[in-house]
Chain A
Amino acid sequence: MSESIWDLLVRSFWPLVRGALLGTIPLTLASFALGMVIALAIALMRLSKIRVVSAIARVYVSIVRGTPLLVQLFVIFYGLPSIGVILDPWPSAIIAFSINVGGYAAEIIRAAILSVPKGQWEAGYTIRMSTATTLRRIILPQAARVSVPPLSNTFISLVKDTSLASVILVTEMFRQAQEIAAFSREFMAVYIEAAAIYWVICLVLSAAQSRLETRLDRYVAH
């Protein structure tokens, strides 16, 4: 190899960034969006007074948190075909990640809903709002403020966890890195370069989190 490591890093930069833009980031956004829908549903089920419903939600959370994400990915991508369900890498990854995020975020959302004082529900009821409207207009906006820091954690973890999708053949950033490294034999340099790009993405997300927190704090005494 006549090429210097510096040249390699420059040459591999765009393929890695493209892996992030076309793989890591859309995979994260789609999984998080779906995961939040699942999380809200599971959180509300968990808070249900109907015992069967809350039990189902509890079991869901227990299974998701009690099994490795990598195993969940393998079950969906390599396991389901043996019972006739064959999914492409992308749908497999999105399903696995959103199920996983849904389990963790459900607990965050449940706690955030419980943190809103009971008097807020009563104030909604006394102006004759339905439970659903009270939840949507009164409770969830206040719960959102509380849940932004822990949900940001979940989101940032998800960005990094999407690298696991490389093992089910999704060409996200880390899979790109593996291919470049294997070809160039410069494992150290290429993997550190990939790590640096993950870090930058997470820095941007942390900054976004601070801005969102400031915005949601505008109605709170300081």
Chain B
Amino acid sequence: MSTLAVVLVVLVVTVGSLAFRLVPLLGLVVVPEQAARVARGAGVAAMTAMVVRGVLEHRDPGLPGAGVVAAASVAVGLAVATRGRSLGVVLLWGLAAYGVLASAVHWLT
């Protein structure tokens, strides 16, 4: 892969990313309030999808059932988050849950 090809890809993605960000915010396309409300739903949906994919794509070669452990850990984090706790606390709970569950699986197997 030549340097020029890599420059071209980065340039195309840069221009595309800027367009995605700029077009609605500069008013080049008028976004009605109802459409903005639906877009907020789409944004929540996009983030939810990234949570699910993050769990499904989780790999831990040394841990049997790593996907289940990851899902349980994220579920713990979500449970803490729905109680209105801070991002830092959610992360601590989620990662601690992973550590505890991974240790338990190692101990049992």
Is B a genuine binding partner of A? Answer: no
A residues lining the B interface (CB < 8 Å) = none
